[in-house]
A and B are shown apart, each in its own frame.
Chain A
Amino acid sequence: MSVTVRVPTILRSLTGGASEVPVDGASTLSELLDKLDADHPGIKGRVLDDAGKLRRFVNVYVGEEDVRFAGGLETPTPDGTTVSIIPAVAGG
């Protein structure tokens, strides 16, 4: 089992065009981003700012939960869940 990460269009240049990629053995979002970056170098720096915080205009969901309403980067990412990275600037 692993976590499935849904990759937004603007980051697919870093995943060889893949819209979903698997990540193994990450127990939190923070660990997941490290592992994701090892497989797809540069992706973490697009999602987090220089201070290591979630960028202002990105939303990350673990399952159905917006991590800003949950545990932020420490939100648990159990096996079998889906993590979605979504540009925040939409709607209205």
Chain B
Amino acid sequence: MTTLLDKSHAFGAAANLFCRECGATYDLGPGNACEQCFGPLEIGYDETLLSLVTRESIEAGPRTMWRYGALLPATPVVDLQVGGTRLVKADNLARELGMKTLWVKDDSGNPTHSFKDRVVAVAASAARSLGFNVLSCASTGNLANAVAAAAARAGMRSVVFIPSDLEDGKVITTAVYGGTLVAIDGTYDDVNRLCAEVAGEQEDWAFVNVNVRPFYAEGSKTVGFEIAEQLGWRLPEQVVVPVASGALLTKVDKAWREFSQLGLVEGTPYKVFGAQATGCSPVSTAFKAGHDVVQPVRPSTIAKSLAIGNPADGVYALDVVRRTGGAVADVSDDDVVEGIRLLARTEGIFGETAGGVTVACLKALLASAQLDPAAETVILNTGDGLKTLDAVAPVAKPTVTIKPSLIEFRNSGAAT
């Protein structure tokens, strides 16, 4: 009985794991796939515990993502003070794009400068409570940073697997935390496949996005929770979310449905839009073709953080987009670079390539009239431009280089 009580405390309101496909249920523990049908496992909650959550109980919490802890499957055992990132009213960008009300949820303000700190906070805490001492992951870069940093803070060993062609800005910012960093000659999907196999061998390692994935994925809900609270406890009418595995998009939707069901916000309708780079656009392709399956692709894009050719939650992202009346768009790498520059030039926010994808897709969705310029819209910047400097380096240079001479300055044109 004591064990049961301890367990229910360590995993918050989480009650069990259930299969999204066939409904089979399992005790809380490591595992990501259903034994019966390989379907994805999700966290099931004790509805009675969830119903105790109020705006006041949330507002009384810390100014981090853990203020929503009662709606998460973990308690903050590992805490880097994640979340509470800014929601910026983007009037300049809105004007440029002919929109009425636009917000940027800027998750580059997290401890390792991407939204991945949120998922890792939940995964690492759950992993500790499940008795793991090693934290691992397959990563396109941002997750690598977050796992290595959280493990360092928690005094856990980290073993992080990345594709060997990642940007320096993501390799260095992982290696510096001192864990084991394994670079693989292959795509992210190759890395992911290897990790699924390694996870079958190293059963005492917590792979945050493999055997702890049900806990991990719930952390993304906190982006959605924060947006709703920062808007004054209400939902926007449209949101544009970058799509890699599709998990973030589905969890933003889940967050808003939970807030609505719990009466924390009015359940006003919203449309969810997905953003991909054309060089890795399996979800966009399926959306445009009207398919409900996602055909894997081999990625080729500068938006490496989104370069997942076989997205685990792709079909669920499609479901959310279609249910809410949204759409999925994709844009060229040149458009991604322009998207980064547009956000930087208009709002003073330097997003990484995924942010450029999102801004460029916002523009494309407006051009195709799939997104309503008059409806209140939130876009997600999920990572920091400092991590992907190479993408803009060729077009972001000094305007002029001159000697320290007043004459040269006057003649340079820089004064005008």
Contact = CB atoms under 8 A, between A and B. Distances in A.
Contacts of B293: 56
**Interface footprint category on A:** 20 to 34
B40 A66 contact: no
Interface in B1-54: 21, 31-41
B184 to A, nearest CB: 12
Contacts of A90: 32, 138, 192, 195-196, 199, 207, 209-210, 213, 312
B276 interface: no
Interface string A1-21: 000001011110100000100
Given A46-B37, A57-B33, A84-B197, A89 B312 contact: yes
Contacts of B199: 9, 90
A66 B186 CA distance: 14
Contacts of B310: 59, 66, 88
B109 to A, nearest CB: 21
Given A92-B217, A92-B311, 20 more contacts: A8-B200, A9-B31, A10-B31, A10-B33, A10-B38, A46-B36, A47-B38, A55-B37, A56-B21, A56-B293, A57-B34, A69-B296, A90-B32, A90-B195, A90-B199, A90-B209, A91-B138, A91-B188, A91-B210, A92-B313
A38 interface: no
B244 interface: yes
Given A19-B201, A87-B196, A90-B195, A57 B31 contact: no
Q: Which of B33, B197, B296 has the most CB of A within 10 A?
A: B33
A74 B100 CA distance: 55
Nearest to A89: B40
Nearest to A68: B296
Interface of A: 6, 8-11, 13, 19, 46-47, 49, 55-59, 61, 66, 68-69, 84, 86-92
A9 B197 CA distance: 9
A88 B308 contact: no
A87 B197 contact: no
A69 B201 CA distance: 26
Contacts of A13: 35
A68 B295 CA distance: 9
Contacts, number: 100
A61 B296 contact: no
B37 A57 contact: yes
Contact of A57 (B40, B188, B213): B40
B193 interface: yes
B33 A8 contact: yes
A89 B33 contact: yes
A9 B192 contact: no
A18 to B, nearest CB: 12
Contacts of A6: 197, 200
Given A57-B39, A89-B40, A92-B209, A19 B193 contact: no
A12 to B, nearest CB: 8
A61 B189 CA distance: 12
